[in-house]
Amino acid sequence: MVKRTFRRGVEDLRWLSRLLHSLRRTVYQIQHSNITKEEQSAMTALSKNEQIIILPADKGRTTVVMDREKYKQQMKQMLEDKNTYEILKKDPTENIKKNMKKLLKPLHEKGKITEKMYKHWIPTANITPRIYGTPKIHKQNTPLRPIVDSIGTPTYNMAKDISRIISPLLGNTDQHCKNSIELLFPPTRKMQRMEKSSGGLLLALSHIFRSNVTNKAKKC
């Protein structure tokens, strides 16, 4: 009984310590904020303005304020592209949930995945992916880049965990290309191995890309 009481007391002290640390950090951030009261008021007013929409830019740490109707029109035009998007007769979320359960149940029964993984990956909510656009302010007419938000969807938890598992393998194969510089400039042994495995296709693509860049540079 004494041990249990002692443990609870220690846990309570730890919880209070974490709470005090969080409060101190919050107070520090408020006291040392580089935003004036006038700027805070302006930000609040902008967030309540229904005629505009505030979005992150496609590249860089920039915030963009757009006319809401213009944004809706651009998103509508994007989604009406039948070569890219297709109108579904019904929401497939429920079928995806059923297929996920059919896939995970035998894996759990055979011990291929743990109880914790099974419970975490089994979908419960009927949340469908949401699409929004981020403005490409570095391009003419500021087109939108479509971003699909899949947080909370049936496959989200499993995809996130699998991504964490395989991410350490990224860049450890001969087929991995770090960036465009590694692709375009003097060939390394790694690039020679990649070229050999691609049957000449990689060399042809990089040559075409270099030619296009050179021609555009000459025109400028």
pLDDT in tens, 125-153: 888 999 999 999 988 888 999 999 999 99
Mean pLDDT of the residues in the chain: 77
CA distance 120 to 154: 11
Q: Residues with Cβ < 8 Å from 108, sequence gap 6 or more?
A: 115, 118
Tell me which of 163 and 198 has the higher pLDDT: 163
pLDDT band at 42 (very low <50, low <70, confident <90, very high): confident
- In this prediction, residue 1 has a pLDDT band, given cuts at 50, 70 and 90, of very low
Pairwise CA distance, residues 197 & 127, whole Å: 42
How far is Cα 18 from Cα 34, in angstroms, rounded to an integer?
Answer: 26
pLDDT digits (tens, 9 = 90+) for 56-99: 898 888 888 899 999 999 999 999 999 999 999 999 999 999 99
pLDDT band with cut points at 50, 70 and 90 for residue 45 = confident
Beta strand segments in 38-141, E:
52-56, 63-67, 130-135
Residue ranges of alpha helices (H) inside 80-187 are 93-109, 115-121, 156-166, 180-184
Measured in whole angstroms, the distance separating CA 109 from the mean position of its chain's CA atoms is 32
Measure the CA–CA gap between 81 and 84, rounded to whole angstroms.
6
Q: In the chain, what are the domain boundaries? A: 50-169, 180-215
- State yes or no: pLDDT of 204 exceeds 80: no
Percent of the chain with pLDDT over 70: 64
At residue 12, the pLDDT reads: 59
Residue located via tokens 């743990």 = 114
> What is the structure's pLDDT at 217?
44
Q: Is the pLDDT of residue 49 over 70?
A: yes
